[in-house]
Amino acid sequence: MADWQEITGGITAPRGYQAAGITAGLKPSGLPDLALIFSEVEAIAAGVFTTSQVKAACVEYCRQRLQAKQSARAILCNAGQANAATGTQGYLDTLESAMAIAQALHISSESVLLASTGVIGQRIKMDALRSGIPKVVAALSETGSDAAAGAIITTDLVTKSIALETTISDRSVRIGGIAKGSGMIHPNMATMLAFVTCDAVVSPHLWQQMLARAADRSFNSITVDGDTSTNDSLIALANGQSRTPAITELGAEAEKLEAMLTAVCQHLAKAIARDGEGATCLIEVQVTGAYDEISARQIAKTIAGSSLVKSAIFGHDPNWGRIAAAAGRAGVPFEQENLQIKLGNFLMLENGQPLQFDRAAASAYLKKASVGAYLQQDTVLISVNIGNGYGVGKAWGCDLSYDYVKINAEYTT
């Protein structure tokens, strides 16, 4: 049993946070497109960002900010324009955005972090942003998480949000998060934005380490289509408003906090994978028996990212040979005679030998997932064992449907 419980409130569930989401006129669709997350006090800040050599201006800005100062009070996110590959003017727009929101909040611009999402190569519509900033500040609320979650999405079909609560030193501690992502999803990192708030007291160095490990076990373990982007950002704030003793080193309390942080990130990551463009189900791959966790995750990610596996799942075809092939090319050595593959409860390969199984029933299992309730009965489970090692890893993806091509063929037209 998990040592925490799910609560309502998203990113405003932790104490001392407000959020807002408004329509500023940045998206051509006229949908909400400007989000703000605000901590009432200075919060420890950590971030994990895209590894792409082509980085959006907001990513470069946040990297520099966090290197100089590991704290922040505000995160401003615009949707509609990625402000990536926009040259010097794009970076100047980012600096202006930080200054404008800082002035409106009456804080230092050094306490502002930024994120953008949208079409690469397009600058932020600064006139719309300037006029939107007073409105988004005025809309800040302790119940504003849902509005913020709705203002950061682009091709997403649903918003992604979660909040969990545990007890540390006899006081409740909460972590909340929102995310966006649907296409161009693949480690490292997926095309996604995720924002996490926490009310624990934790040292900057430890908070950054926790977030990096949580990212590896969540956002860096999902795939939709093998593509990553220019704007990928995971930003986490911890403002200490739970009034718990400071967590400054590894130990039981740090482990509990990191486990809950990882659970928040994994929920958001699975929600992104399930909302993959054109997807009908979530695929969860569990690998056991590897030498270590990294090896197990590598195999799991390779299987989850295989276009052939994803296509077979969409077609309700229990073609375990594609799973075996993906595991074999993952770059992790193992003995073929140790390989075991299960699809749901259907054992298909044991000790490297194919087994008889009810193909019609296995196909029905896949079909049932494609019409199952969102993040409840819509998961296809692939279990793979490669030996007797202690390494265990998971990855998540989705099936590959006809609609994926249609959505991305018409993205800017």
- Cα dist from 120 to 19, 54, 284, 362, whole Å: 26, 10, 30, 41
> What per-residue confidence (pLDDT) applies to 132?
98
Answer yes or no: are the C-beta atoms of 368 and 377 closer than 8 Å: yes
CA–CA dist 268, 264 (Å, integer): 6
Q: With pLDDT > 90 as the criterion, what percentage of the chain qualifies?
A: 79
Residue 69: both structure tokens together: 């100062």
C-alpha to C-alpha distance for 27 and 56, rounded to whole angstroms: 18
Beta bridge partners of 194: 179, 234
35 closest CA partner among 145, 148, 159, 140: 148
Here the tokens at position 53 are: 């050599």
Nearest to 118 by CA among 413, 403, 411, 406: 411
Average confidence (pLDDT) over 278-296: 93
| Among the ranges given (76-80, 83-87, 276-280, 355-359), the one the predictor scored with the smallest mean pLDDT | 276-280
Q: Which residue stretches of 329-401 are H helix?
A: 359-370
Q: Is the pLDDT of residue 216 over 80?
A: yes
The pair of three-digit structure tokens given for residue 228, joined into one six-digit string: 């990553």
Q: What is the CB neighbour count within 10 angstroms for residue 28? A: 11
Q: How far apart are the C-alpha atoms of 301 and 219, rounded to whole Å?
A: 11
Q: Are 298 and 393 in contact, with CB atoms under 8 Å apart?
A: yes
With bands split at pLDDT 50, 70 and 90, how would you rate the model's confidence at 280? confident
Answer yes or no: is pLDDT of 224 > 90. no
Tens of pLDDT, residue by residue over 157-207, are: 889 999 999 999 999 999 999 999 865 444 455 568 999 999 999 999 999
Which of 4-18, 171-185, 336-350 is predicted with the least confidence, judged by mean pLDDT?
Answer: 171-185
- For 132, residues 6+ apart whose C-beta sits below 8 A from its C-beta are 22, 24, 25, 26, 34
User: Which residue carries 């993806």 as its tokens?
Assistant: 397
Residue 399 · residue 311 · CB < 8 Å: yes
Look at residues 261, 320, 321, 330 and name the one whose alpha carbon lies nearest to residue 291.
Answer: 330
Q: How confident is the model at residue 413 (pLDDT cuts 50, 70, 90)?
A: low
pLDDT, averaged across the chain: 92
Distance (Å, whole) CA 103 – CA 83:
22
Q: What is the mean pLDDT of residues 243-259?
A: 94
Nearest to 243 by CA among 173, 340, 166, 140: 173
Instruction: Reply yes or no on whether 280 is catalytic.
Output: no
- Model confidence pLDDT, tens digit, residues 358-411: 999 999 999 999 888 777 788 999 999 999 999 999 999 888 887 777 766 765
Residue type, 354: P
Under 8 Å between Cβ of 221 and 305? no
pLDDT band at 6 (very low <50, low <70, confident <90, very high): very high
The active-site residue, picked from 23, 94, 191, 244, is 191
Give the span between the Cα atoms of 383 and 18, in whole angstroms.
41
Judging by DSSP bridges, how do beta strands 171-180 and 353-354 pair with one another? unpaired
- Cα–Cα distance measured from residue 155 to residue 411, given in angstroms and rounded to the nearest whole number: 9
Helix (H) or strand (E) holding 28: none
| Residues written for the chain | 413
